[in-house]
Amino acid sequence: MPSQGKRALVTGGAGLIGSHLVDLLLREGWTVRILDNLEPQTHKYGKPAWINSAAEFCLGNVQDPAAMRAALEGIDVVFHEAAYGGYMPEMAKYVLVNSFATAQMLEMIRDQGLPVRKVVVASSQAVYSEGAAHCPEHGEVAPRLRPAEQLRAGDFAVHCPLCARPTTSVPTPEATPGGGETVYALTKVDQERLVLLWGKQTGIPTVALRYSCTYGPRQSLFNPYTGVIAIFCTRLLNGQPPVLYEDGGQTRDLCFVEDIARANLLVATTDKLDGLPVNVGSGRATTVRDLARIIAAQLGVALEPLARGEFRPGEIRSLISDISRIRTIGYEPQTSLEAGIARYIDWIGTQGTIDDYFGKAEAGLRAKGIVQRVQA
């Protein structure tokens, strides 16, 4: 690719995924601008030290048309990572930050004829709800999220939408019907559909990357709502057992952040997956209980995780990404879970005293109904 085609805007470039992508792009010879408002829940102490000084940093909100217009000046490729996330009770804020700001950015590029030649948007495997599952009678099915009443009754299984039998999880390919059954997931669906359909209308290449659960150094240690590895680490470092929801048998597809960053670079530098949603993850299942044990072992803290008869409405039981599509352009996850957790723990060691934010936020999580009690 010619060097004049390598000017990137990374929105949310101060965050976990964005900042690693910024570093990778700079290493690959790109010119990089960041647009980030340093959302206080993520960046408790303001501008983080890890923001690469070789990138241009613009403090601003993606919702602000003036800030976005200035950030888009002279840009070839937009990596749109900024978003509001997690299990939060807000509705309007998700729509504004995720859906509205994306639409506004796309309109601006189109209506002002800006020379952007590709938009890569951060979507999520959350668009699949429970993802693909296998029913002994009906084969592959796509169950919806489990109703809160079912979880409240202590039944954590994912049932077949046709015959209600318990299903087993199978890797979820991009063709699995999605939809978005939480406000966050709904706005991720909005973002990827807006970007992909705008791409068809304008002829500007686009890709929507559906990330699985991403972790690694720089993952906020201050957010009690998201990032299971961050939460378990801060609990264990404070001598507190990790808290499991349901029975801890949920499985996650955990992907090291550098693998996610590399997937962004790969899709930006080929036209093979243009116009498509593309899964990116590890393709491997790990139960949340096993994860807690792996982290405790690596930290050398002999605390077993606790399941206290609680659940989170809207939580996904077991969603593993089928990564065949992105493998066709040479993607392969490079960092194993154990190696990735070791890298994260090393980084935490450089972060000073770590508070148990989760423990402090627990009462609030219950009061807001984000965490509820099983009544079986």
12 binds ligand NAD (CB under 6 A): yes
3 state DSSP class of 59: strand
Known catalytic residues?
184
What residue 315 binds from ligand NAD, Zn ion, none (CB within 5 to 8 A, per partner kind)?
Answer: none
**Among residues 10, 30, 32, 37, the one that binds ligand NAD under rule CB under 6 A:** 37
Kindly write out the interface string for residues 82-121 of this chain, putting x where it contacts ligand NAD by CB under 6 A and - elsewhere: xxxx-----------x------------------------
Stretch near ligand NAD under the rule CB under 6 A, chosen from 1-9, 58-66, 280-288, 358-366: 58-66
3-class SS of residue 289: helix
Least distance to ligand NAD, CB of residue 191, Å: 8
Residue 263 interface partner, choices Zn ion, ligand NAD, none, CB cut-off 5-8 Å depending on type:
none
Q: Could you tell me the smallest distance in angstroms from the CB atom of residue 158 to Zn ion?
A: 11
Rounded CA-CA distance 123/211 in Å is: 6
SS3 for 125?
A: helix
Q: How many CA atoms lie less than 13 Å away from 1 in the CB half-sphere?
A: 18
Restricting to residues 215-254, name those near ligand NAD by CB under 6 A: 220
Within 85-182, residue ranges assigned H as helices are 92-94, 101-111, 148-152
Give the 3-state secondary structure of residue 370. Answer: coil
The interface region with ligand NAD, picked from 207-215, 237-245, 263-271, 357-365 by CB under 6 A, is 207-215
Decide whether 20 or 159 has the Cβ nearer to ligand NAD: 20
Cβ neighbors of 10 (< 8 A, separation 6 or more) are 18, 21, 22, 25, 32, 33, 34, 35, 55, 79, 81
Helix runs in 147-251, H state only: 148-152, 183-202, 228-237
The region that residue 288 occupies, defined by phi over 0 for left and psi between -120 and 50 for alpha, beta otherwise, is alpha
Of residues 73 and 137, the one with the C-beta less far from Zn ion: 137
Residue 120 DSSP SS3: strand
Q: How near is the Cβ of 119 to ligand NAD at its closest, in Å? A: 13
* Residue 137 vs 149, nearer CB to Zn ion: 137
**Under the criterion CB under 6 A, does residue 178 sit at the interface with ligand NAD?**
no
Least Å distance, CB 227 to ligand NAD, is: 7
C-beta of 133 vs 254, nearer to Zn ion: 133
Nearer to ligand NAD, 156 or 225 (CB): 225
Select the residue interacting with ligand NAD from 8, 14, 32, 292 (CB under 6 A): 14
Q: 3-class DSSP state for residue 222? A: coil
Q: 49-66 as b/e, with b when 16 or more CB fall inside 10 Å?
A: eebbeebebbebbbbeee
State the binding partner of 162 from ligand NAD, Zn ion, none, CB within 5 to 8 A by kind: Zn ion
Torsion angles phi and psi, residue 277, rounded to 5: -80, 140
User: Rule CB under 6 A: which residues touch ligand NAD?
Assistant: 12, 14-18, 35-39, 42-43, 61-63, 81-85, 97, 122, 124, 211, 213-214, 220
